Amino acid sequence: MLCLGIESSCDETALALVRDGALLSSVLASQVDVHALFGGVVPELASREHYRCMGPLFDTLMARAGCAVTDLDVVAVSRGPGLLGSLLVGVAFAKGLALATGARLVGVNHLHAHLLAAGLEQPLSFPALGLLVSGGHTHLYRMEGPDSFQTLGRTLDDAAGEAFDKAGKLMGLAYPAGRLMDELARDGDPAAVPFPLPYLRNDSLDFSFSGLKTAAAAYLDGIPPAERWPRPVTTAQGAPRILRDCCASYTRAIVETLLRKVERALERQPDLSTLILAGGVAANSHLRSGAEALMRRRGGRLLMPSPALCTDNAVMVAHAGWLLAREGAHHDLALQAVPRGRPIPADMLYARESPAP
């Protein structure tokens, strides 16, 4: 079964081909340079870039893989959550291909695809606890299978990735700030600044990082002028100790909060011994090492995609689409894009025939 994956939920235009669970080829056009001028993603520019790049990227992908459009069995597309204008470009392109070729159309939940991406490099095992940590979302799931996710906790305001990006902007770090903050934190003292561990004094599995961002702003405002650093900061080389310590302390606060919530969830779900960690923030070296230590201590199993598959990509969409199509799942041409803030409807259709091989 040959599955095309299409990703256009935010600022990355990406396509990939997966055959029977194995990656054939992938292509991606990044918009980082476009949005860096504004310090964040501009939705209208993002959708225009998707429209400009989608067709040429598809032609490039098919040529690289040596495939014809008529070879496609499944067309999978990120239907949401994300930026509505960006999503519409991908969904419309997917519908056109499905209508023209007769391929099965599968609308993929972008968040679920992140977690299922771990299965590209190691066997997935269910049930599992899923921790999705990205720029727009921080979710805990009980995962029963590729099409069965139960939400256990979610962010009430800022997501962890958003907290990293906004604090990084306050520190003067070049956009996107997360990767540079990770690097700066490796050579800092995580105990130097007593940032609070947010929303832990309760029995909830939800998250809230807005207060931590406020604490970072207050700390930065209180730094004496003589100790402040030139901005923007584009590299870790030569960065002052006070900035490295600030990054290390801020990173510790987010990572420790995430892992404490994970441990709380595992204690409440004693039949779960596998943690799947995914999303853009899952590329953070401190979170990865902390999750490894946690699951090793508990005698459990940790699954996470390689860092290259943590950020938005079409490989995860193609893989998720293949998993769903293998179960007989599909959508018709009434498939709708779902923007951030609205729930993804349970409108998957299932073929009556046996699952495809």
Residues at the binding site are 110, 114, 132-136, 165, 178, 182, 284, 312
- Give binding residues for Fe cation as ranges: 110, 114, 312
How many of the other CB atoms lie within 10 Å of CB of 150? Answer: 12
- Give binding residues for substrate as ranges: 132-136, 165, 178, 182, 284
The amino acid at residue 67 is C
The amino acid at residue 199 is Y
Cα(257)–Cα(262) distance, integer angstroms: 9
Q: Which of 57, 86, 91, 118 is nearest to 291 (CA)?
A: 118
Dihedrals phi, psi of 15, to nearest 5 degrees: -140, 150
List Cβ neighbours of 55 (8 Å cut-off, separation of 6 or more). 93
Cα(1)–Cα(3) distance, integer angstroms: 6
